[in-house]
A and B are shown apart, each in its own frame.
Chain A
Amino acid sequence: MKAAVAIAHREWCSYFRTPIGWVVIALYLLLSGAWVSLETIRPGEPATMRVFFAVSQWLLLAVAPAISMRLLSEELRAGTIEPLMASPLSDWAIVAGKYLGAVLFLLTMLAPTLVYVAVLESVADPDPGPILAGYLGLLLVGLLYLAVGLLFSSLTQNQVVAYLGALFLFLLLWFVTSQGARLVGPPLDARLYAMSIQLRIADFAKGVIEAGNIAFFLSASAWFVVISVVVVESRRWR
């Protein structure tokens, strides 16, 4: 556990020791901020953060793989995975530490967006419920995206491939659970809709917190993390 925390800490710090962390945060805040200022902080608009959550959810699609692409790919490329695996820690600790580091970075990236809430609070009287639910949804979808990204980065030494792999999977899933579901029609479409990240996240943005949705994101994330552990572990069998 201590080793996993050490790895998470190193990972989190290294986002800020290299340009990637600053670039990702800057782009995310710039885009989400622009949207919120133009669409939400405007006379006549409802005092909600809905626009922010909708935009963020799409931005995460592109941003999360950028956060996760280097997690293991970079270790594989540079060979630093070797001293890591020769240290007396479990492969679980390595992967969990990496994942935790990325999740902490995501939280660091989302933290400044509380300013938007503060601004909204200063000009109107928003209902805190949907805002809390929205953030919870954003966090959960982030967990899932990062877990998928982690798996792709465990499979290749090439960060670009890791990025595109994760992004492509998200887009494919989005297509299948929207257009695909419409195409196949009932009764199969219900199953596809159930897998839709976008539909589930929309519930949160509306302020609806459903246990099923939470379980979906958490279990799917855990699943991808476990597969990543297996991929890393398999290096010792080969």
Chain B
Amino acid sequence: MIRLQEVFKSFGKVHAVRGVTLDIPAGQIVGILGPNGAGKSTTIRMIAGLLPPSAGTVNVDGLDTIDQSRPVRRRLGYLPESNPLYPEMSVEQYLRFRARLFGISRRAGRTALARVIERCGLENVRRRRIGELSKGYRQRVGLAAALLHDPAALILDEPTSGLDPSQIAETRRLIRELAGRRTMLLVSHILPEVEKTCDRIIIFAHGQVQADGTREELIRKAGRGRQEVQRCVLEARAGDRINDLQRLLSALPGVGSCDLATQADGWVRARIAGKPGVPDLREEIGSICAREKLVIRELSVVGDAESLESLYIRLVEGADAAPHGENGA
């Protein structure tokens, strides 16, 4: 759906994007993550046809964003970073205006308007002036405007910046809902935002893609990179079979060490560390418990989020240390 090939963009002497190649298939929800000034916004503004690349090509649905800019723009819904709106217009007036810009006929416009107002929860404020609305509602108006023409792909630049925590949670939920079968590009510098919403995470730093993959892939990569080990916690009602469990767990080929202790309530808590590079132990641990008919109340991986965070920091800082380093992806 969206394809970038060896894309460069310079503003005078500043090289904002340096050799980005990406292929985003239809229907994928992609998070673009990176610190401020990493080239994220520049990249998506090139996709939206607002900037031409200095070198390389950007395609949407096989159409060049420069030569066939207008059909490309018709396929995209774009919410810019600051979500600029006309404060003097009412929600309805603004959405009707946007519909006319997209050449939506009056009748189709009415249907589209009703649809986005319903989906974005704007029913109560449809006649209010945009300038009077809270930031959360304004964000919804921006989203509604980006969705009016039912675009195949939705591009959202920092959609939750400047919102309070409850508005952030609400906007995230809305974004997840709106994605549906659409391709979606979500730009953010906040890790949990991308982690919670996206199928695929692309980490940008210094105008280059530093990492690209699903959350699990990135975590695995993080583990490999630092010889990190997976740590699991198991809580089972092992009773006096604690030593059997210890033996069985230790015998697993992927397990480096395990440490069991009976807790005050009688449940046995096991802390298991995998060998370096072993991706996931939970399935094997689970099947041991099933075989041994042990009732379990917890089996989970700990420290996942930290490892993704540490990967992010490492990539961004690594890129800081070596801004001309190789493309890490």
**Chain A residues near B (Cβ < 8 Å):** 2-3, 6-7, 10, 13-14, 17-18, 78-80, 82-90, 235-238
B88 and A88: CB pair below 8 A?
no
Q: Is A2 a contact partner of B103 (Cβ separation < 8 A)? A: yes
Q: What B residues does A237 contact at CB under 8 A?
A: 52
| Given contacts A14-B88, A80-B85, A80-B86, A88 and B50 within 8 Å (CB-CB) | no
| A100 to B: closest C-beta gap in Å | 14
> Given the interface contacts A82-B50, A84-B101, A88-B103, does A14 sit within 8 Å of B86 by beta carbon?
yes
6 extra A-B contacts, CB within 8 A, seeds A83-B84, A87-B98, A236-B50: A78-B86, A82-B84, A86-B50, A88-B74, A89-B101, A236-B51
Contact between chains at A88 and B102 (CB < 8 Å): yes
- Closest CB in chain B relative to A105 CB, distance in Å: 15
Residue of A nearest to B155 (CB): A86
Cβ of B89 and Cβ of A86 under 8 Å apart?
no
In the assembled complex, the CB of B132 is this many whole angstroms from the nearest CB of chain A, namely 13
- Beta-carbon contact of B80 and A82 below 8 Å: yes
- State the Cβ distance, A236 to closest chain B Cβ, in Å: 6
Chain B nearest Cβ from A97, distance in angstroms = 10
**How far does the alpha carbon of A199 sit from the alpha carbon of B89 in the complex, in Å?**
42
- From B89, B97, B100, B145, A17 is in contact (CB under 8 Å) with B89
Query: When the two chains form their complex, are residues B51 and A86 in contact, meaning their CB atoms are under 8 A apart?
Result: no
Q: Determine which of A3, A6, A7, A86 lies in contact with B49 in the assembled complex, contact meaning CB atoms within 8 Å.
A: A86
Can you name 13 A-B pairs with beta carbons within 8 Å? Answer: A6-B101, A17-B89, A82-B50, A83-B78, A83-B80, A83-B98, A85-B50, A86-B50, A87-B98, A88-B101, A88-B103, A89-B70, A237-B52
Q: Taking A14-B89, A83-B80, A83-B84 as contacts, is the C-beta distance between A236 and B52 under 8 angstroms?
A: yes
Chain A's closest residue to B97 (CB) is: A10
CA distance A83 to B101 in the complex (A): 10
Tell me if B52 and A88 are in contact (CB < 8 A): no
Interface residues of B in 117-175 (CB under 8 A from A): 145
Q: Is B323 an interface residue (CB 8 A)?
A: no
Q: Whose C-beta in chain B lies nearest to the C-beta of A89? A: B101
The number of inter-chain residue pairs (CB within 8 angstroms) is 67
Q: A88-B70, A88-B73 are in contact. Are A3 and B50 (CB under 8 A)?
A: no
B92 to chain A, nearest CB (A): 13
Residue of A nearest to B96 (CB): A6
B48 at the A interface (CB under 8 A) = yes
Which residues on A sit within 8 Å (CB–CB) of B84? Answer: 78-80, 82-83
Interface of A is mostly: helix
Residues of B within 8 Å of A85, CB to CB, are 50
Q: Which residues of chain B come closer than 8 Å to A86, judged between CB atoms?
A: 48-50, 73, 76, 78, 80
For B88, the closest partner residue in chain A by CB is A17
State how many angstroms separate the Cβ of A7 from the closest Cβ of chain B: 8
CA distance A221 to B50 in the complex (A): 28
Q: A14 — which chain B residues lie within 8 A by C-beta? A: 86, 88-89
Residues of chain B contacted by A89 (CB below 8 angstroms): 70, 101
In the A-B complex, the 3 residue pairs with the smallest Cβ-Cβ separation, listed nearest first, are: A6-B100, A79-B84, A17-B88
State A17–B73 Cα separation when bound (angstroms): 29
Residue of B nearest to A82 (CB): B80
Docked complex Cα distance between A108 and B71 (Å)? 36
Q: Does any Cβ of A come within 8 Å of B82's Cβ?
A: yes
Contact for A238 among B51, B70, B73, CB less than 8 A: B51
Which residues of chain B have C-beta atoms less than 8 A from A7's C-beta? 101
Q: How far is the CB of B69 from chain A (nearest CB, A)?
A: 8
User: CB < 8 Å: which of A2, A10, A87 contacts B73?
Assistant: A87
Flag if A87 contacts B101 (CB, 8 Å).
yes
| B56 → A minimal CB distance (Å) | 16
Question: A78 to chain B: which residues have CB within 8 Å?
Answer: 84, 86
Question: Cα distance A90–B85 when bound, in Å?
Answer: 20
A17 to B89, CA, bound (A): 8
**Which residues of A are found within 8 Å of B76, using beta-carbon distances?**
86
Query: Whole-angstrom distance between the alpha carbons of A82 and B82 in the complex?
Result: 10
Q: Are B88 and A18 in contact (CB under 8 A)?
A: yes
**Chain B 63-118 interface residues, beta-carbon cutoff 8 Å to A:** 70-71, 73-74, 76, 78, 80, 82, 84-86, 88-89, 93, 97-98, 100-103
Residues from chain B with Cβ under 8 Å of A82 in the complex: 50, 80, 84
The CA-CA distance from A83 to B142 in the complex, in Å, is 10
| Residues of A with C-beta under 8 A to B88 | 14, 17-18
Q: How far is the CA of A88 from the CA of B63 in the complex (A)?
A: 14
Cβ of A3 and Cβ of B86 under 8 Å apart?
Answer: no
| Whole-angstrom CA separation of A78 from B51 in the bound complex | 19
User: Across the two chains, which residue of chain B brings its CB closest to A10?
Assistant: B97
CB nearest neighbor in B for A85: B50
Give Cα A10 to B100, complex, Å: 11
Instruction: State in angstroms the CA–CA spacing of A86 and B51 once bound together.
Output: 10
Q: Measured between C-beta atoms, what is the minimum distance from A4 to chain B in Å? A: 10
CB atoms of A79 and B71 under 8 A apart: no
Residue-by-residue, is B17-52 near A (CB-CB < 8 Å gives 1, otherwise 0)? 000000000000000000000000000000011111
Contacts of B52 in A (CB 8 A): 236-237
Q: What does the 1/0 interface line of B291-311 toward A look like (CB < 8 Å)?
A: 000000000000000000000
A88 to B70, CA, bound (A): 5
Q: B50–A2 contact, CB under 8 A? A: no
